Amino acid sequence: MKGTKDMLDRYGRSIEYMRISITDRCNLRCIYCMPEGVDLVSMKDILTYEEICEICSAAAALGIRKLKITGGEPLARLGCADLIRSLKAIPGIEQVTMTTNGVLLGKCLSSLLDAGLDAVNVSLDTLNRERFSAITGRDELLSVLDSVERVLDSKLRLKINVVLQRGINDGEWYELASLARDRQMDVRFIELMPIGFGQKREGVANTELKERFRALHPDLQEDSSVHGNGPAVYLRIPGWTGSIGFISAMHGKFCGSCNRIRLTSQGRLKPCLCYGETANLMPILRGGPGGKPSEAMLRQAIEQAVYAKPEQHCFEEPDMITETGRMISIGG
Ligand code: SAM
Ligand code: SF4
């Protein structure tokens, strides 16, 4: 069912996309996201699947049409496919997609397809097995590559997300991009953001990366076709099957067309990635009479959070960043 309502924020932006961190657990330990030794939130403080569905129903009634399931690692939480099936059944929700590290994706793929998953992003920062272990703390590159092959065979829409870190995997930029040469997938470079453990690492500017691409491919073309719900800018290399995307929070402000809010694993609605302000939905979800949340109160809280959405992020002025949470709770 096509949603009929638009939820506009104060700046006239239509907010139709919600990212949901369904868990702060993960089966990898990426050095810029969830290094070894990170404390976990107690499961009782994490949204249940029923609570996520309550929030999504209220959000869909207001104009949210697209959902992204993320984490932590969404496939590390049991029953993820059942959640997707339930979300797809909510009136007004047109698309449910997922971002995963890919380790369990191959095994879960048939149940995810059966549940109606519309597309998947796989995060993959290196094609080198030793480097993969160094970045993620686990020797799982082969499982991820196997998952990628299975997704390609299934024809599910696939994007690869790459975060480059200087001196660690930035030398692999062209090899990683080349995954899109002959295969039906986009490869996207996400600039490392100074959120959570990302503050301690050094990323690579996408402006620099684009110059490297242009030097090798002077015939590079802008690709203005729609590839998804997000702020990525795409370039096409003539003759390549997939496109190269750039998500440039640090060096390419896209706030004018921002269409999203985020729901953290602990039930906080987050209007903008770089600010700590959130609307806590837990008291509404767990404090109602008989424990039943009021949909009217959820809608009101969502509208207020959208109203509070700032005009733009402040990543270029690090002193103004007020987000102190971790990416595993926020969902990236
Ligand atoms: N575990 C899943 C995965 O890795 O795709 C989903 C959660 S993960 C937090 C979502 C995305 O956020 C991943 O592509 C990851 O590389 C990215 N990410 C994590 N920390 C980041 C940071 N500080 N800056 C930019 N991207 C980050
Ligand atoms: Fe886990 Fe994804 Fe974070 Fe890596 S980026 S630690 S896979 S949540």
Cα of 71 vs centre of ligand 2, distance in Å, is 8
Cα of 293 vs centre of ligand 1, distance in Å, is 31
Closest ligand 2 atom to 71 CA: 8
80's CB contacts (< 8 A; 6+ apart) are 22, 69, 74, 98, 108, 112
Cα of 149 vs centre of ligand 2, distance in Å, is 20
Cα of 289 vs centre of ligand 1, distance in Å, is 37
pLDDT in tens, 308-330: 898 888 887 778 888 888 888 88
Cα of 259 vs centre of ligand 2, distance in Å, is 24
Closest ligand 1 atom to 198 CA: 23
Q: What is the reported pLDDT for 25? A: 95
Cα of 270 vs centre of ligand 1, distance in Å, is 16
The pLDDT of 204-225, averaged and rounded, is 92
pLDDT in tens, 241-266: 999 999 988 887 788 889 999 999 99
Cβ proximity of 327 and 34 under 8 Å: yes
Q: What is the reported pLDDT for 317? A: 78
Q: Whose CA is nearest to atom 4 of ligand 1?
A: 101
Q: Whose CA is nearest to atom 19 of ligand 1?
A: 33
3-class secondary structure for 33-73? CCCCCCCCCCHHHCCCHHHHHHHHHHHHHHCCCEEEEECCC
Q: Using 50, 70 and 90 to split pLDDT, how confident is the model at 2?
A: very low
Q: Using 50, 70 and 90 to split pLDDT, how confident is the model at 289?
A: low
pLDDT in tens, 95-113: 999 999 999 999 999 999 9
Closest ligand to 264 CA? 1
- Min mean pLDDT across 79-88, 275-284, 316-325 is at 316-325
- Full set of structural domains in the chain with CATH: 17-330 (3.20.20.70)
- Ligand 2 pocket check for 125: Cβ under 6 Å: no
Paired sense of beta strands 244-247 and 260-263, if any:
unpaired
The pLDDT of 62-91, averaged and rounded, is 97
Closest ligand 2 atom to 136 CA: 4
Q: Give me the chain's average pLDDT, please.
A: 93
What does each C-alpha distance from 96 to 8, 87, 99, 200 come to in angstroms? 21, 7, 11, 32
127's CB contacts (< 8 A; 6+ apart) are 141, 145, 172, 175, 176
Closest ligand 1 atom to 33 CA: 20
Cα of 53 vs centre of ligand 1, distance in Å, is 23
The pLDDT of 187-200, averaged and rounded, is 92
Joined together, the tokens standing for residue 317 give: 């002025």
- Min mean pLDDT across 40-49, 171-180, 228-237, 284-293 is at 284-293
Q: Using 50, 70 and 90 to split pLDDT, how confident is the model at 5?
A: confident
Joined together, the tokens standing for residue 20 give: 């949901």
Q: Ligand 1 pocket test: which of 30, 38, 99, 250 has the largest number of ligand atoms within 8 Å of its C-beta?
A: 99
CA distance 124 to 72: 15
Cα of 33 vs centre of ligand 2, distance in Å, is 6
| CA within 13 Å, CB half, 89 | 9
- Give the Cβ contact number of residue 31 at 10 Å: 18
pLDDT in tens, 117-162: 999 999 999 999 999 999 999 999 999 999 999 999 999 999 999 9
Q: What is the reported pLDDT for 1? A: 44
Residue 280 has pLDDT above 90, yes or no: yes
- Ligand 2 pocket check for 250: Cβ under 6 Å: no
Q: In residues, how long is the chain?
A: 332
- Ligand 1 pocket check for 264: Cβ under 6 Å: no
- Ligand 2 pocket check for 73: Cβ under 6 Å: yes
Q: What is the reported pLDDT for 291? A: 67
